[in-house]
Amino acid sequence: MDTGQNIVTDKTPSALFLVLTVNDGGEDAVRDGIEGLDGIVTTVSSRFPDATLTAIIGIGSQAWDRLFSGPRPAELHPFIELTGEVHTAPSTPGDVLLHIKSSRPDLTFEVGRLWTATLGDAVSTVDETHGFRYFDMRDLTGFVDGTENPAGADAVATITVDADTDPDFAGGSYVAVQKYVTDLAAWNALPVPDQEDAFGRSKFENVEMADDVKPTNAHTALTNLPDVDGEAQEILRDNMPFGDVAGDGEKGTYFIAYSKTPEITEVMLRNMFIGDPEGNHDRLLDFTTAITGTQFFAPSAQFLADLPPAPSAADEEPEPEPEPDGSLGIGSLR
């Protein structure tokens, strides 16, 4: 079976998230960059062999057929914008995602610097976010982030496309990213018991509330999906806080979710923004705003080591992608 990229790791103290678009005529340079990424990581790692360093690359739906001939991941499509009665999850541009993780921020910076230098004007930067670990893996709200993450073999199974589902892309993972900007002044003015109601967990002890006392609009009430046929519907979050300290600079949480199918993440986001039932949106969204939203496919290591040929001029133009209907196919999960 194809093995995935090195996604399941211990939480690192630093991360760099790069979202890029491929400029017209930049496809060959991006393919070369994809092939050369592993060498850059190896070179930087060799200087500090005891430091954790890994880089994961994802390709967006609109770029896939510009970069590769042949089949495409079965469920790869653009991020679905969600517009609720109060809050919106926007869909924003993004052809390539680079997620770099390290125990040292200088190493994440160095890999990002060297790799983007190889791409030059073949790409444009949509977003560059430097994340950091905040105390005992809390986000800037003061709550522990990623509590519900699976671990070990369960984590691998959670994020890995299997051969029965999509044999051409076994070992890969779907990945969604959103950048959330938090109104910390408004959040910090909220009494701690009200903050705990918004999360559905205690702030300091990180203990989840019992279902009979947890508010229906608590974050954990809307994002913890029921099992289907005895199988947990989970994602692997690798979120990181980010921010500027002075003035009104942006600060918040960079959300990144890996999964074996994008449908699970989409149902969670639908519950948050549209509500379950409709109108019962996630209370956290009253304090934090999604300003980006993009979806990618992170292929297996074997795929990246032996890329399919580039599309030729003789290839037929791909059919236009149908607009997502917003239903998210949630009938199969609920």
Active site positions, annotated = 145
Phi then psi for residue 279, to 5 deg, are 100, -20
Query: What is the distance in angstroms between the CA of the first residue and the CA of the last residue of the chain?
Result: 30
Per the CB < 8 A criterion, the answer to whether 111 and 119 are in contact is: no
| Three-state DSSP state, 53 | strand
Per the CB < 8 A criterion, the answer to whether 294 and 96 are in contact is: no
Centre a 10 Å sphere on the Cβ of residue 113 and count the other Cβ atoms it contains.
Answer: 12
| Both structure tokens of 11 | 């939480």
| Both structure tokens of 20 | 């890029």
Is residue 301 exposed (0-12), middle (13-18) or buried (19+ Cβ within 10 Å)?
A: middle
The DSSP secondary-structure symbol of 89 reads E
> What is the b/e burial string over 25-47, where b = at least 16 CB atoms within 10 angstroms of the residue's CB?
ebbebbbebbeebeebbeebbee
Centre a 10 Å sphere on the Cβ of residue 289 and count the other Cβ atoms it contains.
Answer: 17
| Both structure tokens of 188 | 């910090």
Angstrom distance (rounded) from CA 221 to CA 242: 25
Contacts of 253 (CB under 8 A, 6+ apart): 139, 140, 145, 180, 182, 239, 240, 241, 242, 288
Q: Among candidates 153, 10, 179, 169, which has minimal Cα distance to 93?
A: 179
Angstrom distance (rounded) from CA 267 to CA 82: 11
